[in-house]
Amino acid sequence: MTTPTDHPPARTSRLAVGATTFAVLVALLAAMAGFGSRWGLWHFSTGFDLLRWSAYLAIAAALLCGVAVARALWRTPRLRGWVMALGGAALALAVVIIPWQWQQTAREVPPIHDITTDTEDPPEFVAVAPLRADARNPVEYPGQEVAALQREAYPHIAPLMVEAPPAEVFEQALRAAQRMGWEVVDAAPEEGRIEATDRTFWFGFYDDVVIRLRPEGEGTRVDVRSKSRVGGSDVGTNARRIEQYLRRLRR
């Protein structure tokens, strides 16, 4: 005869393995939602659909892992099953949290995708303009309505004043752009202009940057503009990019 405790550990272990495997597969689906778009396997709108469905599946995976944790704690003193399931639950919750955070951020920032340190006279794209020929967002600055939204949401985005001549600052600005990992499209020291393209890590969206240097007093004024090629809202990406660049240039 068998006792009630003879077989449950195996069943619990299988449940934990199955729930955790499900969570891992859901996490892989979420990852591929973005990387598949970056690699050209599907349109980014398809990637967003996959990400949404992966979040729904992740909720189910987290609940299943929760059941596995409860059964492992109740039916067997061995820790392996519930630790595995707990890890699966944490992974599934991470899949849910990422798109949720995106959604929350999108609600907190204005639906704009063109950020500049000079909203009155924004730096112009020259060399990058042909690269944006098929972009959904035109190369031109969208106007004072967007400028007002930017000033309200990102009042700290402002020009950088450097106590050095433009020729010296230009070399520093170019090195800083390269250290950011951007692809430099054009560097025109005689015009005080640097243009570059950046690509977001996950979905691989292309964004363009122009840096303008002008003499001001005995120093140099540095203005930066960052603009997305697609999308109505950048979820704060362009503002963060400008902030990171200016911090790097200050070093």
Cα distances from 166 to residues 35, 170, 180, 220, 226, in angstroms, run: 40, 6, 20, 5, 21
User: In 76-224, which residue ranges form alpha helices assigned H by DSSP?
Assistant: 80-108, 144-153, 166-179
Reply yes or no on domain 114-250 having CATH 3.30.70.141.
Answer: no
Read off the pLDDT of residues 209-232 as tens digits, 9 standing for 90 and up: 999 999 999 999 999 999 999 999
Looking at the DSSP bridge assignments, the partners of residue 220 are 162, 215
* pTM for the whole structure: 0.85
Q: Which of 153, 161, 170 is nearest to 115 (CA)?
A: 153
Read off the pLDDT of residues 120-160 as tens digits, 9 standing for 90 and up: 999 999 999 999 999 999 999 999 999 999 999 999 999 99
Read off the pLDDT of residues 152-167 as tens digits, 9 standing for 90 and up: 999 999 999 999 999 9
**Mean pLDDT of the chain, nearest integer:** 91
